[in-house]
Amino acid sequence: MKKRQKFLILGIAIGLLLAVGFVWAVSTGLVPGPDWLQAKQPDVPQTEQPGSPQDETDPPQTEPDVPTPPEPEYVDITIASVGDILIHNTLYFAAYDAATQSYDFRPQFKYVKPLLQDADLTIANLETTLGGQEIGYSSYPKFNTPDSIVDALKDAGVDILTAANNHRMDTGLTGFFRTLDVVRAKGLDIIGVRANEAEKTYALKDVKGIKVAVLNFSYAYPLADGGLSINGLPLPAEKSNLMDTFDPQDINQATDVLARRIAEARSDGAEIVIVCLHWGDEYHRLPNNFQKQLAANLVELGVDAILGGHPHVLQPAVYLTSSDGRQVPVFYSQGNFISDQRKETVDNIYTEQGVIAKVTFRVEKNNLTNNKPTVLVAEAIPTWVNKKIIANRFHYEVIPVKQTLAAQSKPDFSEEYPLLNAADLERIRFCLETVQSLTQDLELSSPSLIITEGIGAETAAKTNNSEPVFFTP
């Protein structure tokens, strides 16, 4: 019995060994096996042989994500500027309030206020000093004006006052430094002058993320002792570097001093450079050769706009083309913004006229392709100074010409402009005609580069550089 059990166990063991061997042989492919056994086998990855076709069921290969390149971002910036601000005694008489014993110049700018505030940055030429009431307010030939003129200009939208001009020394060094202090205390920038050598003479403003530099230079005559003659008044040699000036008799010197200041502004990061110049001949309605040569040199030095003052009458506004193809607007003289110079006082109707120069630049903000600003449009907006004497009291107001003429059809025109009469409107129309007559050669090849209501080279021989022209309507 025990022998039988031993043989049974041995048989079972041999059977199991045979079964295991068979399964192994099938799995390795040595012998074919039944379908049911082969179906149970796990997939064994096969090494692809060279030249064998790819399995058509393989998932498609995806390309790596390629980032979309950024698009250029542009920003438009509008710079506005007005001409000479000459506060004659009749103007501060008009501003005086006997009840408060104070001066309020704000009514004189109420009509042009929206035009000045509309710009991103507005510049005005302060052709007077703020020497203080203690030394007495005064008019031509030595101007000293109440401090509140700055409040009125700020209220009207002015951001920067140019102070490098021929009246800077009218109240001596006292007025020179006090003017700086007053303007800064009232929150405006003052340029062309400085309190000490550590300060800059120009303004560098952040406008919509773009750095705009505004420079200001005036003509001045060198003295033998190293000082400067400012309208016949001396600026001592030890103070002469506190005002940005050029010699109007030496074009090379003028170009060199301006080139250094432009380079300084660029090194500070300036992306737009505006140069305000006090230059030219008073009452001459065309620029002289020095002005034209200096303007051409500055264009080649890379400035983006030139804004002129001092002649007290309008001079041409033109585009000058640089050697690299940039179109640069040049306003040789913006005329008087406000003064008592007019037909009745100086026998010159052109001294009543001015323009608000407006230049709009487009700048590539993210600097992907070109960071040089492009001029979209340059405008010369005509203005006219109205003067009235009512009940022994003076009244002055700067009139925006086109807007005022357009408002004549309004039923409330006389209420909106109570100081204007028919004779005034004729002089306003003449102002517009004068400005429009000076625009004929300003259209450029690009339709986007035009001056609207601008001023340009005169087409009629109405004047020359030797004598002023007087007109009687």
98 has pLDDT over 70: yes
Contact between residue 195 and residue 243 where contact means Cβ atoms under 8 Å apart: no
Separation of alpha carbons 25 and 18, rounded Å: 10
Range of the domain at 157: 74-452
pLDDT, residue 456, reads: 31
Tens-digit pLDDT profile for residues 137-173: 999 999 999 999 999 999 999 999 999 999 999 999 9
* β-strands 210-219, 203-207 pairing: antiparallel
- Pairwise pLDDT comparison (44 vs 160), residue with the higher score: 160
Highest mean pLDDT among 71-85, 189-203, 373-387: 189-203
Contact between residue 213 and residue 204 where contact means Cβ atoms under 8 Å apart: yes
* β-strands 353-364, 393-400 pairing: unpaired
Let me know the angle formed at the C-alpha of 81 by 322 and 426, rounded to the nearest 5 degrees.
110
In a domain, 38, yes or no: no
pTM of the predicted protein model: 0.80
Q: Is the peptide bond before 141 cis (omega within 30 degrees of 0)?
A: yes
Q: Where are the alpha helices (DSSP H) in 388-441?
A: 401-406, 413-416, 422-436
466 has pLDDT over 60: no
Contact between residue 352 and residue 291 where contact means Cβ atoms under 8 Å apart: no
Separation of alpha carbons 103 and 149, rounded Å: 8
Separation of alpha carbons 319 and 441, rounded Å: 10
In a domain, 35, yes or no: no
In this prediction, residues 337-362 reach a mean pLDDT of 95
| Biggest CA-to-CA distance, the chain | 155
Tens-digit pLDDT profile for residues 214-262: 999 999 999 999 999 999 999 999 999 999 999 999 999 999 999 999 9
Contact between residue 330 and residue 320 where contact means Cβ atoms under 8 Å apart: yes
462 has pLDDT over 60: no
- For the chain, the distance separating the N- and C-terminal CA atoms, rounded to the nearest angstrom, is 153
In this prediction, residues 67-75 reach a mean pLDDT of 79
In this prediction, residues 203-215 reach a mean pLDDT of 97
Residues in the chain: 473
Contact between residue 153 and residue 188 where contact means Cβ atoms under 8 Å apart: yes
pLDDT, residue 436, reads: 78
Please state which of the ranges 68-72, 82-86, 98-102, 370-374 shows the lowest mean pLDDT. Answer: 68-72
In a domain, 234, yes or no: yes
Please state which of the ranges 72-81, 262-271, 298-307 shows the lowest mean pLDDT. Answer: 72-81
Tens-digit pLDDT profile for residues 382-440: 999 999 999 999 999 999 999 999 999 999 999 999 999 999 999 999 999 888 776 54
pLDDT, residue 173, reads: 97
In a domain, 288, yes or no: yes
In a domain, 5, yes or no: no
As a whole number, the mean pLDDT across the chain is 85
Helices and strands (H, E) in the chain, number of each type: 12, 21
Q: How confident is the model at residue 447 (pLDDT cuts 50, 70, 90)?
A: very low
pLDDT, residue 68, reads: 76
pLDDT, residue 225, reads: 95
Beta bridge pairs of residue 57: none
Phi, psi of 359 (to 5 degrees): -125, 125
Separation of alpha carbons 125 and 278, rounded Å: 9
Beta bridge pairs of residue 162: 125, 191
Segment (H or E) for 126: strand 121-126
In a domain, 209, yes or no: yes
CATH number of the domain where residue 112 is located: 3.60.21.10
Q: Measuring CA to CA, how many Å separate 202 from each of 48, 208, 242? A: 75, 19, 12
> Residue type for 263, please?
A
Q: What DSSP character marks residue 145?
A: -
In a 13 Å sphere around the CA of 12, the CA atoms on its Cβ side amount to 5
pLDDT, residue 9, reads: 55
pLDDT, residue 407, reads: 95
In this prediction, residues 456-470 reach a mean pLDDT of 29
Number of Cβ within a 10 Å radius of residue 78: 17
pLDDT, residue 129, reads: 98
Tens-digit pLDDT profile for residues 288-300: 999 999 999 999 9
**What SS3 class is residue 237?**
helix
Q: Which residue has the tokens 């006229």?
A: 353
The angle that helices 289-300 and 251-267 make with each other, rounded to 10 degrees, is: 30
In a domain, 7, yes or no: no
pLDDT, residue 193, reads: 98
Q: How many domains does the chain have?
A: 1
Separation of alpha carbons 201 and 210, rounded Å: 20
